[in-house]
Structure 1
Amino acid sequence: MRVLLFPFSMLCVLLSSLFSPLYAADDWYRPPVSVTWQWQLDGVVNEGYDVDLYDIDLFDSSVELIQRLQASGKKVICYFSAGSYEDWRPDAVDFAAKDLGKTLSGWDNERWLDIRSSQVRDVMIRRLDLAVSKGCDGIEPDNVDSYRTNTGFSFRANDQLDYNRFLAAQAHARGLAIGLKNDPDQARALSSDFDFAITEQCFEFSECRSYSSFIKAGKPVLNAEYRRIYVDDEAQRNAMCKQSLALEFSTLVLPVTLDDKFRLSCLP
């Protein structure tokens, strides 16, 4: 039997690569306040916008698309749902039946997840690893405020805080930025854990002030408004945009389907 002898220096390099972290501490993208962005989750992604970052679907976006966007100087945030089961996703079979709750209102093929479940968390870890393998700069985990609704489970606000902090810690451990999505009541408590916030209709629902802690911490708030009046009435849109600029938010007026049928930006 032949025994292969490695030089000690080579052995040290191999051991170092096995046990050292993939990323240095604090080594991930941090978007600035008033960052420009485009959000498209449906249809063929329009790559032509002159913005700082794109927010696109993790599963539906190819590595080639992500690389093209990055080659043009853009950062890429990858979307997935962290709080709901979607029956069309390729990893849908990985969820246990006991972890599937009630159907989401308006979304018949989605069900709430038990965010306390270790199996649910394992699926999310694999999704984070997928984001790394595809080269995403960050992630947008959706439906992370389910404690506020009737999910079919009995978890509370503290369970949501624990789950959201779990997602943030796991993202950062992989060198990924992470955004807090639609969780206004916990935004202040979580602003130190997340790198930016994404909110929908915060002007329509008078929730924008809930995210002021992000701006104070030098972290952007990316907001999307869907009211048709902002499309049809320039005066109404300008009034809303004036408020957005005063708050230093990055606000877009988009179709609720997020399919790039139109796009209006409050930023210059």
Structure 2
Amino acid sequence: MRKTARACATLMAALAASVSAACSGTTGTERAADALWKPRPGLAWQWQLDEKADPSVDVPVYDIDGFENSKADVARLHRDGRKVICYINVGAWEDFRPDKDAFPRSVLGEPNGWEGERWLDIRQISVLRPIMERRFDMCRDKGFDAVEPDLVEGYDNDTGFPLTARHQLRYNRMIADIAHERGLSVGLKNDLPQIPQLLDDFDFAVNEECAQYDECGELTPFIEAGKAVFHVEYTEPRSSFCAEARRLKLSSMVKRPELDVWRDPC
């Protein structure tokens, strides 16, 4: 009798929750989206992909390598009040990653200029999606708040494949969906020409060298939408771009190309 009463109570609670959601017009997907971390313009950040994260930089956001850092490393940053972004390469194969053998040779293209890396054939969605899902599972399981998927502009490079802007849009939206399905926010890395089409799919932007190439204005849609733009320059002196970066509300700093601990923020 008591089991029946408990079952009825559980059923009634579930029905009440369903009715409440239906009346409010809120779906499960929308509730999940509401729970995502949504970084606002102007947040200071640290971007360190060289070895494990050094927690000594006093900023609210860390962007670190998803493979090189452990769940404990992420938890340590969380204890200090930081949000943590998981760097994952989604556009190129890397011969130094533990899952390198999961990529069939058919998806490997031309070298991309970085040692041990080759462009991926992003047209092969059925092959690449499960690999990327496992990588994003890793980010989620280590406790990351967000993902920085790198090299999402293969269509504009010599990859060895006849990639088009349409292929890239499809792939980038798939990447954003994989992140959101796991409760992770996701940043659009570079790919400035496709910002108008992808703005609604991504929660923030990560940009390299927009000042050097006089492109920072192209990132304003993210700022206008209340979404952070995490920006670095490598060779430009702070005096040449920081005033404009502050005006545009970019989260800007100078870094060395190896992305070690050193930073010089605006």
Q: TM-score, normalised on structure 1?
A: 0.87
The 4+ residue runs of structure 1 with deviation greater than 4 A are 20-23
How many Å apart are 1:142 and its aligned residue?
Answer: 0.2
Measure the CA separation in 2 of the matches of 1:85 and 1:159: 18
Question: What CA distance in whole angstroms lies between the structure 1 residues aligned with 2:41 and 2:186?
Answer: 15
CA contact (8 A) 2:189 2:205 kept: yes
Kept in 2, the 8 Å contact 1:56–1:78? The answer is yes
Find the counterpart in structure 2 of residue 78 from structure 1: 86
Displacement after TM superposition at 1:9 (Å)? 2.4
1:110 and 2:111 are equivalent in the alignment = no
Say whether the 8 Å CA contact 2:51–2:68 is kept in structure 1: no
Alpha-carbon separation, structure 2, partners of 1:24 and 1:97: 40
8 A contact 2:49–2:64 mirrored in 1:
yes
Q: Name the residue aligned to 2:243.
A: 242
Distance apart, 1:23 and its partner CA: 9.2
Task: Tell me by how many angstroms 1:25 deviates.
Answer: 2.7
SS at match of 1:55: strand
Q: Which residue of 1 aligns with 2:41?
A: 33
**Where does residue 252 of structure 1 map in the other structure?**
253
Aligned to 1:3: none
In the TM superposition, what is the alpha-carbon distance from 1:44 to its structure 2 partner?
A: 3.7
How far apart, CA to CA, are the structure 2 residues paired with 1:45 and 1:9? 48
Check conservation: 1:188, 1:210, Cα contact below 8 A. no
1:185-221 deviation digits (Å, cap 9, x = unpaired): 1112111110100000110011111111101100011
Kindly provide the amino acid, as one letter, of the partner of residue 9 in structure 1. Answer: A
Query: Which deviations, in whole Å up to 9, do the C-alpha atoms of 1:5-36 show, x marking residues without a partner?
Result: x86729x78xx8xxx97993312110011011
Matched position secondary structure for 2:87: strand
SS at match of 2:116: strand
Unaligned runs of 5+ in 2: 15-26
Identity %: 42
CA distance in 2, matches of 1:174, 1:108: 31
Matched, 1:64 2:63: no
| Residue 134 of structure 2 is aligned to residue 126 of structure 1 | yes
The answer to whether the 8 A contact 2:84-2:144 is kept is: yes
Q: Partner letter of residue 241 of structure 1?
A: C
Give structure 1 stretches of 5+ with no counterpart: 1-5, 231-236
Residue among 98, 101, 111 paired with 1:90: 98
Q: CA deviation at 1:50?
A: 1.6
Aligned CA-pair RMSD: 2.0
Residue in 1 that maps onto 2:21:
none
2: CA distance, partners of 1:222 / 1:255: 15
Aligned length: 247
Partner secondary structure for residue 230 of structure 2:
strand
1:139-154 → structure 2 map (5 Å cutoff): 139-154=147-162
Write out per-residue CA displacement over residues 141-162 of structure 1, whole angstroms, 9 at most, x where no aligned residue: 0000010011011120011011
Aligned twin of 1:9? 7
- Residue identity matched to 2:252: T
Choose which of 167, 190, 198 in structure 2 pairs with 1:159. Answer: 167
> How far did residue 116 of structure 1 move?
1.6
Q: SS at the partner of 2:59? A: coil
